[in-house]
Structure 1
């Protein structure tokens, strides 16, 4: 089964902070849609833009794997462990909130906006010790593993049988993904345009796949490079 989530149909509730523009793929906050409560272990997928100098409200979460991927600009992060980081474009920040972690995200720049995605995954264990990590690498053609349960290929090790891949494609170039009926998959078009299994997709569009087999063909379309995020999830 394949479900489509067009960008324009995503939720846009009241902003939780001044200078924030947010689009929600799944229900959360003031946005509620019973048809979109998550996709397996993937509970949240927000696209955020923060104006120069703006910040999100301080947040406390428990028992959630928080993956924040920066598309452009620079994101400043602080958390209750004392960690302070600046995450640039192409960087992935992981927070394993465990039994409880307080954190704060803000725009590191007072001159340029920051554009990022935030995904929340249910962990495979509860009340673990809070932890965090960062993965930074320049986008490249083909698939690049950003997060995995065992930290393969230099990825961030997370607490769930899930993997997050990134691919950046030039117009006309293509990649494939093999599908396993025992897994779920979520594709998010982060920037640009793509043709996926005959479908024309643009930035913000998503596809969810479950109980599918074979291979899925993905190609860059339009006139600029496309950036894709692929979530490989437990069924």
Structure 2
């Protein structure tokens, strides 16, 4: 069974410097029908103006994954990490027992666009941690590249949950397939472009929950980018 979550039905908050779309309930947007999917708790599509960002704030007991689409995002945290996240980079921060961090647009003039993803960890009270890796366009072109996993397989970023994230950039007409096993669930998020999931059309910002085992086939009608979550 596939349940669509259309882009225009998401929560939306425009703070001037920040324009954010919420796939699931977040901050002042609350929808009891969309509190998350399995361990996937947050998918926010954020656009931050040049020179702006999120000042120092705290998190606990969450696996936070950042996926930059355009521009650069400067990260600083209480663990001593400091980096700029660029398109192709995947950053994972384990909040665990508690961490403070800030995120600011690397540019003073141009916007940064990124996805902020929260996944509930398998257990609470973890030691805070940080990881960042680059996955090139070539690694994702016309194929599903595993970028996040519970075991770090194939050089993926490691999270503390039985969840895997795959990324793909599909040229027009190209398609990929993923076998969803019994007792597994999937969420597909269209980052940009237009695709068909088992024949169902989706466009940028759309998501889909999949709750039945079988083969998932994604075909692009124009150059597109997507994330596929395989969840317990």
TM-score by length of structure 1 reads: 0.95
Q: For structure 1, which runs of at least 5 residues remain unmatched after alignment?
A: none
Contact 1:51 1:114 in 2 (8 A): yes
Contact 1:65 1:121 in 2 (8 A): yes
Q: What does residue 42 of structure 2 align with?
A: 44
Taking the aligned partners of 2:57 and 2:197, their CA distance within structure 1 comes to 36
Task: Give the one of 93, 96, 105 matched to 1:95.
Answer: 93
SS across alignment from 1:229: strand
SS across alignment from 1:13: strand
Deviations 1:201-231 (A, max 9, x none): 1100000011x12211101113xx1001011
Q: What does residue 195 of structure 1 align with?
A: 196
Taking the aligned partners of 2:128 and 2:231, their CA distance within structure 1 comes to 22
TM-score by length of structure 2 reads: 0.96
Q: What does residue 11 of structure 1 align with?
A: 11
**Superposed counterparts of 1:142-221, under 5 Å:** 142-210=143-211, 212-221=212-221
Deviation at 1:58, TM superposition (A): 2.5
Q: Give the stretch that moved more between structures: 68-77 or 5-14.
A: 5-14
Contact 1:14 1:30 in 2 (8 A): no
Q: Give the stretch that moved more between structures: 158-167 or 57-66.
A: 57-66
Taking the aligned partners of 2:85 and 2:14, their CA distance within structure 1 comes to 26
Structure 1 consecutive aligned stretches of length 4 or more whose deviation exceeds 2 Å = none
Contact 2:185 2:213 in 1 (8 A): no
Q: For structure 2, which runs of at least 5 residues remain unmatched after alignment?
A: none
Taking the aligned partners of 2:63 and 2:74, their CA distance within structure 1 comes to 18
